[in-house]
Homo-oligomer: A and B are copies of this chain.
Amino acid sequence: MISTKGRYAIRVMLDLAENDTGSYIPLKDVAARQGISKKYLEIIVKDMVAGGLLIGASGKGGGYRLVRKPEEYSVGEVIELMEGPLATVACLADGAVPCPRAEECETLPLWAEYDKLTHDFFFGKHISDLIRKDDSK
């Protein structure tokens, strides 16, 4: 299950991409547009800055902006930063204690296959792919 941290982070990226003014965008605006509590978003963007996805600028006229172009961010990268490794079962996660039954485990190939499917899906998608072109009214 993808949690709000990952999902909100992607929405922030999209919001910044679509409302790009060339300068910094205050979090207040993002929160209002997205209908998400600004306080909660603070926690999220903090991690995004620490992870190098965004740059933040304090003070009047400050806010956040993307570091790279939208097509240079994979969705998987954003999710992994926010939620840790995209592992679908515990025994395939990063720092997991190696399972002593791995050799004989008949279900491991199933999880490994699903893991790869998931990984490829999210790392093959980019923020730019999510921007809705059709804005017809």
Contact = CB atoms under 8 A, between A and B. Distances in A.
B1 A75 contact: no
B121 A114 contact: yes
The 3 closest A-B pairs by CB, nearest first: A106-B132, A2-B89, A106-B130
Count of chain copies: 2
B2 A111 contact: yes
Contacts of A121: 113-114, 117
A7 interface: yes
Given A101-B35, A121-B114, A106 B1 contact: no
A102 interface: no
A35 to B, nearest CB: 7
A90 B14 contact: no
A131 interface: yes
Contacts of A4: 90
A99 to B, nearest CB: 10
23 contacts: A1-B87, A1-B88, A1-B89, A1-B90, A2-B89, A2-B111, A4-B90, A7-B89, A7-B107, A10-B110, A11-B106, A11-B107, A14-B107, A35-B101, A75-B110, A106-B130, A106-B131, A107-B130, A109-B130, A110-B125, A110-B130, A117-B121, A118-B118
A76 to B, nearest CB: 11
